[in-house]
Amino acid sequence: MAFIRYNILRFQVESSGQTIHINHKIPAYLKRCTGFLVKHTKGLRSDKYLSEIGWLNLQFNNLKENAIAAVVACPALDEVDDKYDFQALEITLKSGALVSGIYTDTTPITSFSPYSISVYFKCSALEKSTINTDPKPSVNPSQEYADSFYQEDKLC
């Protein structure tokens, strides 16, 4: 039975210095959030890697749990080897509860153009951790991190 789902919060940043207030519902059938990943998805392309284009702060379960603070980077135009895997979380989701918070853009005004951000919530439809969905505690350096995303995705 499928138990892992990737719930996606996506928003568009239209102006330099913009603050976006976020109110997002994770579907009620998802019981736990076991990881998150914040990605620049489109727009704002640069020749060089931008280590910060904005930062994010999110609270789960109707403002009860302030769990996420993260900076968002933007890969260079020709960068293909950026790695991604989910940052560990372990939040028991209240049914239909809000994820609330802010994203604020910090891109220098001279290099700004509109862009999209996606926040992936790695969630489980199971109440308890009968199957380990957490990131591995130790990772073989030769392992491709991206693989773990797709391997688990195949379970869905």
Partner 1 sequence: MLDPITYIKEQLAQREISIELHRFKKIVTHVGLNRYEFQAYNELLFLTNAERLPIGTRIISDTNIVEIGPEHAFSEGLEEFSGLVVIVIPAHVTDYPVIEFIQILI
Partner 2 sequence: MKKHKFQQIRVTVNSPGESLRLSAQTDKQYARIRGIYVSLPQENLIAGTMLGLKVNNQEVFEELHEVKLLTSGNQVAPNQKFFLFEEHLDAGGSSIEGRLTDGATAEIAAGDLPTEGYPYEAKIYLWLTNEN
Binding site for partner 2 (CB under 8 A): 35, 37-38, 48-52, 55, 57, 65-71, 73, 75, 79, 81-91, 106, 135, 139, 145
Residue placing its CB nearer to partner 2 in the complex, 1 or 111: 111
Residue 139 binding: pick among partner 1, partner 2, none (C-beta 5-8 Å cut-off by kind): partner 2
**Rounded Cα distance, 96 and 28, in Å:** 4
Scanning 22-30, 100-108, 122-130, 141-149 for contacts with partner 1 by CB under 8 A, the matching segment is 100-108
Cα 11 to chain center, whole Å?
12
Residue 132: partners with Cβ closer than 8 Å, 6 or more residues away: none
**Rounded Cα distance, 112 and 106, in Å:** 9
Q: State the pairing for strand pair 19-25/98-105.
A: antiparallel
Q: Closest distance between partner 1 and the C-beta of residue 15, in Å?
A: 12
Kindly report the number of other CB atoms within 10 A of residue 114's CB atom. Answer: 14
Residue placing its CB nearer to partner 1 in the complex, 98 or 125: 98
Residue 85 binding: pick among partner 2, partner 1, none (C-beta 5-8 Å cut-off by kind): partner 2
Is 25 an interacting residue with respect to partner 1 (CB under 8 A)?
no
Q: Which two tokens stand for residue 116?
A: 């999209």
